[in-house]
Structure 1
Amino acid sequence: MISFSSFPATREYAEFSGPHHPYDPSDDVEMEIDEDYLDTNGSKLTYPGESLTSSQAYMRGHGTYVDNEEVIASVAGTIERVNKLVTVRAIRSRYNPEVGDLVVGRITEVQPRRWKVDANSRQDAVLMLSSVNLPGGVQRRKLESDELQMRNFFEEGDLLVAEVQAFFADGAMSLHTRSLRYGKLRNGQLVTVPPILVRRLKSHFIALPCGVDLILGLNGYIWVSKHVKEAEQEGEEGFDAEGVYSNINDNIDEITRTAISRVTNIVRILASHFIPLTDTLLIEAYDWTVDQEGGAKDLLSEDLSDALVTSLAFRV
């Protein structure tokens, strides 16, 4: 037979079990709150178990928990604060999409009236046939003949830049490439970095003075390619289907190839040192590497890469 016995209330519990007493701030142990420590715009790194601030002055957000009236980081990442809400954005995590984001992806499967796209998210994105431009730039309803020609637009392995349009019921994001700046990618190289290093900018299409174009996908996929003139990109005489959906790269001279390799290695170095990518920083890094009079491959040496990061730290 099971019997239950009551335990005497502890002193700490008895203090709170009696009548309500007015709150006295002097009873609490004051915790020094460093405002500058939290206002770092995502540049301050923290580690799991590190105490961030007092739970009485701030609210905990994602990546944190409360213990002994302190907000403590539960993951390794960057500290972000919005008013009184403190969150920690994990360093290594999948891309969390939002409507309007610019992403770079790879076609993984061709299905009826849709393509599956790897966008570095928790599940593959979907590009519907109704969300792409047709040859001639004609805006009309897609027919069965268009569905039979889907592989003429995109096939497995093709890279593309698109925009997040909406989300399906299962959480998968729906993409579209209706803008003439979106579509298949050619004449370049893909670099993968943690999505946390790509900040939301006014424009994610960057043209560097060295004749190289960058597309900073918010999902961590970065495309470095040969510069395309404004007139060629926008299309002076309507929609050029052969150029947009072509699988053949243009002839790229040796100087442009070297510049693409140099920019690609710079992005890898900055990502390995956990430095957020901006157009100004990339231009300064490129100028610094040119002054060193070394090849693009020499940048990957440990001494030169550390010197590059040190130089950029002083400039910033």
Structure 2
Amino acid sequence: MITFTSFPVAPDPYLARNDDAADYLPDSDYMDVDLEEESDAGSSKLTCPGESITSSHAFMRGHGTYVENEEVISSVAGLIERVNKLVTVRALRTRYNPEVGDLVVGRITEVQPRRWKVDANSRQDAVLMLSSVNLPGGVQRRKLESDELQMRNFFEEGDLLVAEVQAFFADGAMSLHTRSLKYGKLRNGQLVTVPPILVRRLKSHFYTLPCGVDLILGLNGYIWVSKHVKENEQEGEEGFDAEAVYSNKNDEIDEATRTAISRVTNIIRVLATHSIPLTDTLLLEAYEWAIEADVDLKDLLQEDIGDALIAAVTNR
């Protein structure tokens, strides 16, 4: 006669659904770093290679981590992120990983038949099709051979532009578009490059600071700081001025605006050096501190003054 004997099974904390589950999840198994505090400047989320993040009993390891002695440990220097029970670390120094709908700032690198190649700080150049830009005569009109012959009148090598990620090709390259009047060629400003991880995905990436400076925070780590331009009141196709949109000439910029642009760009460089995520509120606080302290433009890049700026902003 065959008999069956049942053996006790160790309870699984992930599958436990009763009140006894708390007995298998001690306080030490929860995250050592508070990931819910979004108001912090980001210093509490920074981690170094080899640093213990949490226990492997309560959380699952993701990219940028490994498990050793039942602990989830960071394998790269970056920011800790959590999605439910999955813990990942985004490396500070990495290429931009695009998603559909992202706002990016790029530079034209090549003009090809019916398309432009764009450097967007990604693993490969992005593509801007001729059919994905605003052309004179209306957005919806058909693109003709004459438009293809005049492509360098719209964008040429070296031009900067702001665009939106529309889709991806089979090889993974980004497909951009500039159909909105908010997008297009950039003028009257200065480009600043920061690690893409420091630019968060927000509702809007267009900001106007009280000092008369416009900011475009590209998710690919390219930030455009320029003279404030009033929004076009005519949003329809009839109000589209091709000469103004695709002009290569900068407007006259007064000395006060030039100083404000340079001060904002230096502040961005200081914040990026200390790996602090960028927001419009943080930049405004740093700008006000620089004005109150009467710090010269060049002095902002000095190490001691930069440390004082970071201390003043993070303590507010």
- TM-score bracket, normalised by the shorter chain, equals 0.7 to 0.9
Aligned mates of 1:91, 1:248 — CA distance in 2: 36
Pairing 1:172–2:157 present: no
How far apart in 2 are the matches of 1:22 and 1:234? 67
The correspondence for 1:33, drawn from 18, 29, 33, is 29
Cα distance change, pair 229–195 in 1 and its aligned pair in 2 (3 A): same
- Counterpart Cα distance in 2 of 1:236 and 1:265: 38
- Offset at residue 294 of structure 1 (A): 3.0
CA-CA distance at 1:210 after TM superposition: 0.3
2:32–2:53 CA contact under 8 A, matched in 1: no
Give the drift of 1:72.
Answer: 1.7
Structure 2 equivalent of residue 248 of structure 1: 249
State the Cα deviation string for residues 51-108 of structure 1 (Å, max 9, x = none): 2222221111111122332222121111111111111111100000000000000000
Equivalent residue for 1:118? 119
Q: Which residue of 2 aligns with 1:99?
A: 100
* Secondary structure at 1:243 match in 2: helix
Match of 2:21 in 1: none
- Give the letter for the 2:247 counterpart: S
The separation in 1 between residues aligned to 2:28 and 2:175, in whole angstroms, is: 46
AA of the residue aligned to 1:268:
R
Q: Which amino acid aligns with 2:270?
A: I
Distance 2:7 2:143 in 1: 70
Letter in 2 for 1:158: D
Q: Would the alpha carbon gap of residues 73 and 138 (structure 1) be closer, same or farther in structure 2, given more than 3 Å must change?
A: closer
Cα distance in 2 between the residues matched to 1:20 and 1:92: 50
Counterpart contact for 1:215–1:222, Cα < 8 Å: yes
Q: Per-residue deviation at 1:237?
A: 5.8
Q: Which residue of 2 aligns with 1:15?
A: none
Deviates more, 1:154-163 or 1:59-68: 59-68
Q: Is 1:280 aligned to residue 281 of structure 2?
A: yes
Instruction: Assess if the C-alpha contact under 8 Å between 2:166 and 2:177 holds in 1.
Output: yes
Q: Residue in 1 aligned with 2:210?
A: 209
Residue 198 of structure 1 contacts residue 218 of structure 1 at CA under 8 Å; is this kept in 2? Answer: yes
Q: Percent identity?
A: 80
- The residue that corresponds to 2:190 in the other structure is 189
Task: Tell me, in whole angstroms, the C-alpha distance in 1 between the residues paired with 2:120 and 2:186.
Answer: 14
List runs of 5+ in structure 2 lacking aligned partners.
1-5, 13-23
Tell me by how many angstroms 1:231 deviates: 3.1
Match status 1:22 vs 2:9: yes
Equivalent residues of 1:181, 1:233 under 8 A apart: no
Which residue is 2:82 aligned to? 81
How far, CA to CA, are the matches of 1:255 and 1:191 in structure 2?
Answer: 20
Give the TM-score, by structure 1 length. 0.88
Q: For residue 92 of structure 1, what is the amino acid of its counterpart?
A: R
Distance, in Å, in 2 between the alignment partners of 1:306 and 1:232 is 42
Contact 2:95 2:196 in 1 (8 A): yes
Aligned residues: 295
Tell me how far apart the structure 2 counterparts of residues 29 and 225 of structure 1 sit (CA, whole Å): 52
Q: TM-score, normalised by structure 2?
A: 0.88
| One-letter identity of the residue aligned with 2:177 | H
Cα distance between partner residues in 1 of 2:75 and 2:182: 40
Q: Sort the Cα spacing of 1:292 and 1:198 in 2 relative to 1 into closer, same or farther, 3 A.
A: same
Contact 1:91 1:196 in 2 (8 A): yes
Q: Which residue of structure 1 aligns with residue 19 of structure 2?
A: none
Measured against aligned partners, the alpha-carbon deviations of 1:259-300 in whole angstroms (never above 9, x if no partner) come to 000001010011111111111111111111111223222211
Separation (CA, whole Å) in 2 of partners of 1:266 and 1:29:
44
In terms of Rg, which structure is larger? 1
1 CA distance for matches of 2:30 and 2:292? 40
Distance 1:234 1:228, change over 3 A: farther
Cα deviations by residue, 1:159-214 (Å, 9 ceiling, x for unpaired): 00000000000000100000000000000000000001101111100000000000
**Relative to structure 1, is the Cα distance of residues 78 and 51 closer, same or farther in structure 2, using a 3 angstrom cutoff?**
same
1:45 aligned partner, one-letter code: L
Equivalent position of 1:257 in the other structure: 258
CA, structure 1 residues 255+236, in 2 after alignment: closer, same or farther (shift >3 Å)?
farther
Q: Note the C-alpha offset of 1:49.
A: 2.1
Q: Distance in 1 between matches of 2:69 and 2:31?
A: 20
Cα distance 1:31–1:236, how it changes in 2: closer, same or farther (>3 A)? closer
SS in 1 for 2:167: strand
